[in-house]
Amino acid sequence: MDYKIKKLPKSEVEIEITVSEEDIEKYYKKASEELSKEVNVKGFRPGHIPQDVLEANLDKKYIMAHAQEMAIQRSYADAVIKEKVQVVARPKIEIKSENPFSYVAVVAVLPEVEIKDYKSIKVKREEVKVTEKDLEEVMTDLKKYSTTYKDTDAEAKKGDRMEVDFEGFDEEGKSLENTKSSSHPVILGENSLIPGFEEELVGLKKGDKKEFDLKFPKDYPKKDFQGKKVHFKVEAKRLENAIEPEVNEEFIEKMTGKKGSVEEFKKEIEKNVKDRKEKEAKQKVENEYLEELLKKTKVEIPTALIEEEIDFMLHDIADDMGSKGIEFEKYLEKAKIKIEELREKYLPEAEKRVKMRLALQQLIKEENAAPSEEEILAEFEKIKSFYPEKEAAKITEDFEKGELRAQITNRLAIRKLFDKVL
């Protein structure tokens, strides 16, 4: 076997391989042995068919094609291993000649990543503060769960619950599709309807009717309504006052399942809010660091890696839709979107993701942030402890297969990296 390797743009290499006539004969013999197991010839057992009898029952070209396939698989693997080519995708094969048998394999390889002066990246972390407003918002949300409602004939105010009939019309007085609803429930002030709609309902009493104009937002999901002026007719069918619960020990026990004072409850809320804010601040710093890292990273990304990432993204979207009972293909058909258009749409994001991954891999290597075997096993045991004992065997199996181990390794490496660089 002879071969030549040539570097190509975008982190690809071309391997031109010529297989000797002697080797092709060996592969032809092996191919014949394999195919003889699949052919039924009267008077002969499968796998024991003489060469001439096999050739009388099978086209020689078919046997040769099988031999060439075997030759490609073995010679390509030998060349890649010998030259230590770090392939990251399947090769594209093109046969150049039959005699002597030669072909060209073009394959994407792990690209060289250059990160200039990453140690100069400085990201400022904001000081985390918990304000009274933060605590009030949490308390308001908690009280919503225990809020009760009572029918009233008074005027509607913010926080009240209303059932309303409404219908939208264009400037010519024609009813607009998808703007009509009967006994539509709404809690005033939650802004579940288009901006300005709920404000128009404040002050109405049960049985009141009202007409008003509203302009839909320019970024409204349905394009036909973006920036459109619509005349609404509404009628308040039912109105209920919100009765908020008092924050006392009874309320606390109902919300948390345990007894405690109001003061202790507020301290617990403050701690939870602070933990959440610190986590968000940490995530913000890491994201800003990664954005700066991308600017300093130079890499030629193989097209195959980007295409693979797009496949992964589309697969995720299809799975998410499937979990909601939506068939991906039917969605595309209904939305009149071609799969090629979606691939084009997600290309920039896919390229960014791959570049980020390659930059992180390079930085982990440069900063010696790869976790030790002891750290990986300790993290695995920690994860396993969160699962019921009956599921421990399945978790261990996933770890031993490699996928869970890889996830843990990557997570620990990135954690160690950020501890070093931030």
**pTM score, two decimals?**
0.70
Q: Are 121 and 286 in contact (CB under 8 A)?
A: no
Quote the CA–CA distance of 235 and 123 in Å, as a whole number: 54
Category of 420 on φ-ψ map: left (φ > 0), alpha (ψ -120 to 50) or beta: alpha
CA neighbours closer than 13 Å in the CB half-sphere of residue 345 = 8
- Give the DSSP letter of residue 260: -
Helix, strand and coil in the chain, % to nearest 5:
50, 20, 30
122's tokens: 């400085």
Query: What are the chain's domains?
Result: 2-110 (3.30.70.1050), 148-243 (3.10.50.40), 256-421 (1.10.3120)
The residue among 220, 218, 223, 233 whose CA lies nearest residue 179 is: 233
Question: Dihedral angle at the C-alpha atoms of 157, 160, 165, 167, nearest 10 degrees?
Answer: 60
Q: How many CB atoms lie within 10 A of CB 380?
A: 18
Give me the residue label for tokens 């503060």.
129
Q: Are 305 and 107 in contact (CB under 8 A)?
A: no
Q: Are 3 and 76 in contact (CB under 8 A)?
A: no
Quote the CA–CA distance of 226 and 229 in Å, as a whole number: 9
- What is the residue-level pLDDT of the chain in tens, covering all 422 positions? 899 999 999 899 999 999 999 999 999 999 888 888 877 777 787 777 888 778 778 888 888 999 999 999 999 999 999 999 999 989 999 999 998 999 999 999 999 999 999 999 999 888 899 999 999 889 888 888 888 899 999 999 998 999 999 999 998 899 998 899 999 999 999 889 999 999 999 999 999 999 999 999 999 988 889 999 999 999 999 999 988 888 888 888 888 888 888 888 899 999 999 999 999 999 999 999 999 999 999 999 999 999 999 999 999 999 999 998 889 998 888 888 899 999 999 999 999 999 999 999 999 999 999 999 999 999 999 998 888 888 888 889 889 988 899 999 999 999 999 999 98
92's tokens: 């594209």
